[in-house]
A and B are shown apart, each in its own frame.
Chain A
Amino acid sequence: MTPNSRRSTAAPWPGYPRGAGGRWRRWGCRVPIPGAVRGGPHEQTEENRSGWPVPQAATAEDFAKWGKRLGLLRTDVTPGDILLQFNPGQKAFVRAGVVVRVLAYGWWTPNRPYVDVESIEGDAGPRGELAGGEALRVARRLSPRTGDRFLRWSEAGRGEGGDAAGEAA
């Protein structure tokens, strides 16, 4: 269940932002949370509030900063992660999306691995380009050697990242 599916007037947590028309907003576009993360530590609580700990962010770089602070950036991928695509020219993360499934693993050269994923992204174009203006399901090739990372947000709240939900508020 997502915050929008209930039409509740109560915010999932204090300070949760509302968009135009009073609908709950998440980072730029409404993206379904993959079923892979259901039953995790961020399942709906008994108070009927979402425990999703990821804060609203204007850019992928904001996600990266949050993930880095909590030690959640990974080079390996799991469905449900938030992918962060790195632009080595700008030395910044330029794209975020939700990984739906892992399609394949491979190597360009023996020390340059890559992973093909299917993701759901906002502001993408039909060729996966930046600023395409659509929410799409995109097949994408990412490489940790190029700087790409995966935000394992489902581990926020475990161990040292225990204060994640509090930070999001």
Chain B
Amino acid sequence: MRAALTRPSRPVPECATGDSGSAVELALAALEPALRRAARRLTRDADLLDDLIQEARICLWELDPTRFDLTNTSDLRYVCRALINRMWAGWRAEVGRGVP
């Protein structure tokens, strides 16, 4: 009887949570090969190539991939265009400073 009285009632379900910050890593993993190919067309310099990829990562972080459905062609095209434009801008800035 006492055991029945002290038995805990149904467990309270925890509120399911999510974090949109981790979506950037997932999107990067999917997009990075294409970004690397695009960056290689701009430069052969390994350091500059890494800098351009880094620019694209920052751009993706600012865009927030959770607002896009990357399986959708038009969304994917928009994101790739934005990231490549950002790499172009980075490349032009570096070339302006005399980096090959």
Residues of A within 8 A of B (CB): 85-90, 94-95, 108, 112, 124-132, 134-141, 143, 146
Knowing A88-B78, A89-B77, say if A137 contacts B17 (CB, 8 Å).
yes
Q: Which residues of B lie under 8 Å from residue A136 when comparing CB positions?
A: 16-18
Q: Name which of B67, B69, B79 has the most chain A CB atoms within 10 A of its CB.
A: B67
Query: Contacting chain A: which of B4-12, B20-28, B49-57, B88-96?
Result: B20-28
Shortest beta-carbon distance from A116 to chain B in Å: 9
Contact of A128 with B23 in the complex, beta carbons under 8 Å = yes
Known: A129-B23, A129-B66. 8 other contacts (CB 8 A): A87-B68, A88-B67, A94-B67, A126-B18, A129-B65, A129-B69, A136-B17, A141-B21
Knowing A134-B16, A140-B20, say if A127 contacts B26 (CB, 8 Å).
yes
| Whole-angstrom CA separation of A90 from B79 in the bound complex | 11
Contact of A125 with B64 in the complex, beta carbons under 8 Å = no
Contact of A124 with B67 in the complex, beta carbons under 8 Å = no
Contact of B20 with A141 in the complex, beta carbons under 8 Å = yes
Q: How many A-B residue pairs have CB under 8 A?
A: 79
List the 6 closest A-B pairs by CB distance, nearest first.
A128-B20, A89-B78, A127-B23, A138-B18, A128-B66, A136-B18
| Whole-angstrom CA separation of A129 from B19 in the bound complex | 9
| Whole-angstrom CA separation of A131 from B68 in the bound complex | 10
Instruction: Write 15 A-B pairs (CB below 8 A) sorted by A numbering.
Output: A85-B67, A87-B68, A88-B67, A88-B78, A89-B77, A89-B79, A90-B75, A127-B23, A128-B18, A128-B19, A129-B69, A130-B69, A138-B17, A138-B19, A146-B67
Q: Which residues of A lie under 8 Å from residue B77 when comparing CB positions?
A: 89
